[in-house]
Amino acid sequence: MLPIVIASDHAGYSLKEQVKKYLEGKNIEYVDLGTNSGESVDYPEFAHKLCVEIQEGRAEKGILVCGTGIGMSMVANKHSGIRAACVSDTFSARATRMHNDANVLCFGERVVGAGLASELVEAFLTTEYEGGRHQRRVDLVNSFDK
């Protein structure tokens, strides 16, 4: 099984560190792509690094954290094959896996706390894509990559 990749900017650094503790507690292998402090950085660089890991087959899923999750999701969705969802509730974290086959979870440290972030990660990582009636729409989304 491929590891989860995780990255943040400075505004999401503290929450990313909490998510890493959650992953370690569940024995889920991950690769931290940075940032490694609260010092100001440019979030697009970290979102891009994470997406390349998925595009090149070194990971299947990723987690991006910034202040709101919005900026990271915008950058991630610019990458072919990436279906990133910015969520702040567990229903959406499950639904985006079931219906959209999302492969990147985004959320914001200024929006969700550590407890909810762990619940979002749990829902995202344990929910399977349903396929079936949703596949036509996912194929349509993927067709826009070309």
Among 51, 79, 86, 99, the active-site one is 99
43 is written with which tokens?
């979030």
Is the distance from CB of 50 to CB of 33 less than 8 angstroms? Answer: yes
Query: Rounded to an integer, what distance in angstroms lies between the CA atom of residue 126 and that of residue 116?
Result: 15
Burial of 43 (0-12, 13-18, 19+ CB in 10 A): buried
* Sheet with 104-108, side-by-side order of all strands: 30-32, 4-8, 62-66, 104-108, 84-86
Using DSSP's 3-state secondary structure scheme, residue 133 falls into: helix
Q: Could you confirm whether 106 is annotated as catalytic?
A: no
88 is written with which tokens?
């702040």
Query: Rounded to an integer, what distance in angstroms lies between the CA atom of residue 110 and that of residue 104?
Result: 19
Among 10, 51, 66, 86, the active-site one is 66
Q: Could you confirm whether 79 is annotated as catalytic?
A: no
Catalytic residues: 66, 99
